[in-house]
């Protein structure tokens, strides 16, 4: 574990989602063109330590890595606790 003092942090995430077509007509398509993450870290640590901390956190992030290397998604719908169709 890194011993880097952090007094606080604020994250701002911007997602670029898009949608076209109609759900009712069965023509709905949607997706995402990307995400932007701004991370404002408050710390007395040297910038090199913070850069290393950010790099390690980014490499260890399950969500980031799942988005970069897509994985299968399985849907199991239930109706009143029982499998649907």
- Give mean pLDDT in consecutive 10-residue pieces for the chain, a chain of 85 residues: 94 98 98 97 98 96 93 96 94
Phi and psi (nearest 5°) for 53? -60, -45
Strand segments (E) across the chain: 8-20, 29-42, 78-79, 82-83
pLDDT computed for residue 79 by the predictor: 98
pTM greater than the 0.95 cutoff? no
């Amino acid at each position: 574990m890194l011993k880097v003092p952090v007094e606080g942090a604020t994250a701002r995430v911007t997602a670029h989602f898009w949608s076209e077509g109609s759900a009712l007509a069965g023509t709905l398509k949607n997706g995402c063109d990307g995400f932007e993450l701004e991370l404002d870290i408050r710390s007395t640590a040297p910038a090199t330590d913070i850069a290393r901390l950010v790099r390690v956190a980014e490499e260890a992030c399950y969500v980031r890595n799942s988005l970069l290397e897509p994985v299968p998604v399985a849907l199991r719908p239930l109706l009143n606790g029982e499998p649907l169709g």
